[in-house]
Amino acid sequence: MSPTRLLLVPALVLACLAPASAQDRRAPENRSEIKLSYAPVVAHVTPAVVNIYASRTEQRRNALFDDPFFRQFFGGGRGVPRERVARSLGSGVIVGADGLVVTNNHVVEGMTEVRVALSDKREFEATILLKDQRTDLVVLKIGDGSEKFPTLSLADSDALQVGDLTLAVGNPFGVGQTVTSGIVSALARSQVGDGAYQSFVQTDAAINPGNSGGALVDMDGALIGINTAIFSQSGGSVGIGFAIPSNMVRVVLASARSGAKAVARPWFGASLQTVTPDIAESLGLKRPAGALVANVSPGSPAAKAGVESGDLVTAVDGRPIDDVEGFTYRFATRPLGGEAEITLARAAKERTVKIALAAAPETPARDARAIRGYSPFAGATVANLSPALTEELSLDDGLRGVVVMEAAEGSAAQQLGFQKGDVVREINDQKVGSSADLAKLSGSNPRYWKVTIERGGRTFTSVFGG
């Protein structure tokens, strides 16, 4: 923290302790004065922070009405499904004057109707432009393009420092738009939530249920993150909140503006391993830092640049890498096109290579197929693995074959434990090379089913009765 900022903190405290009549309510005349109160920042930010109301209608039916014996006494008409409306509440940020809104994907996931309420009480029906489960972000569109909405600009989240002042704005518990203050408590936090990109901004500004998708801003009123998660044993704020960095938001927003239905990110083409203290000692490192290359996919950008198994990735474009999550975030936030400079170390010698920033190819085509019939895979949807699909599912680079995309609720595949991301290797000792192969084998009628899958780097074989 700079000396100037250290001097401003006591000034802010004294201003808050002074009698109300003594506090100066005039407009601030310079940058130093604006930091004596958050009010000017809040006035700039709040018009661009919105409330998100999402819902879907569900059909509920009492299972007793499916029993013929029960129906003969109470009549078939009594079994008409009852409707129940499921609702979700969150916050969002307008990031485009043309009506582009960013919020968390989990706020609208599974919902069929999304409405956006502005701070001036107006409401708009929203259209979902792009959903990105890997970052837990979604881009919505409101208005017909004729109106200019208030917006927040995106700050450079890489420029943040621990101790920087922050404001969190959202709709906690549905009580209405609320502003809380705090500092950046930590940077590049990982192991938070289920997202593929773990490099969160941590703040002690109070964040509660309903704040999801809201804004975390700096003292210039620029967006530094989208509030997305809290650590809490009670469900309320304990001063440990997490936000998706604005530089990741920028990547998702760029894909939405281009009209893409999925976020395009650069493909590295190598599997990385966390450097443990034992590995660091074996490599002669002073501390466990960096990301160790486990294997390199043939023909990938990493392979073409000369990256080899055993190389230690220590920096991306000059920015140090502490772990695998740090590399994944840094590389994923690079725009497509051009090159990234990757610093590698081996045997205490460093070298820098240039990696082409290109999207992963979808070769072979995924050829997704829904499996029916009486096989263990009935109710599953499977597809051919490609570099693009491997990236999409956050699987180890280099995996190829047939992958389970989903197992329908209540299906044989779900009941037998098959999960999204399972790679099917063999059925009854026959190799499964494509989704067409799996569909054909699933149509047979053997006495039993012997299935071999790969999950999380481990191989499992199970036998099911025919």
Beta bridge partners of 178: 170
Token couple for 232: 């809490």
Q: Which residue in the list 106, 164, 204, 218 is annotated as catalytic?
A: 106
CB 408 within 8 A of CB 382: no
Contacts of 211 (CB under 8 A, 6+ apart): 90, 91, 168, 170, 171, 172, 227, 241
Q: What distances in angstroms separate CA 85 from CA 56, 57, 59, 179, 311, one per listed residue? A: 6, 4, 9, 30, 53
Q: Tell me phi and psi for residue 387, to 5 degrees.
A: -55, -40
211 is in an annotated binding site: yes
Residue 340 tokens read as 């990234």
184 φ, ψ to 5°? -75, 115
Fill in the DSSP letter of residue 258: T
Structure tokens at 323: 């772990």
Alpha-carbon distance of 144 to 139, in angstroms, equals: 16
What is the distance between the terminal CA atoms of the chain, rounded to a whole angstrom?
A: 68
Please confirm, yes or no, whether 136 is among the known catalytic residues: yes
136 is in an annotated binding site: yes
Estimate to the nearest angstrom the gap between the alpha carbon of 133 and the chain centroid. 5
Phi-psi region of 394 (alpha: psi -120 to 50; beta: other; left: phi over 0): left
* Residue 210 assigned ligand-binding role: yes
- Is 397 marked within a binding site? no
From 136, 311, 323, 397, active-site residue? 136
CA–CA dist 288, 274 (Å, integer) = 9
Active site (annotated) includes residue 44: no
Q: Please identify which of the residues 91, 157, 212, 386 carries the catalytic annotation.
A: 212
Would you list the DSSP string of 342-378? EEEEETTEEEEEEEE--BPP--S----EE--SSSTTT
Pairing of the two strands 223-230 and 241-245: antiparallel
Q: Do the Cβ atoms of 267 and 392 come closer than 8 Å? A: no
> Is 91 in contact with 170 (CB distance < 8 Å)?
yes
Q: At what angle do helices 324-332 and 246-257 cross, to 10 degrees?
A: 40
255 counts as catalytic: no
Q: Is 258 a known ligand-binding residue?
A: no
Point out the annotated binding site for substrate.
Answer: 106, 136, 210-212
**Which residue numbers are catalytic?**
106, 136, 212
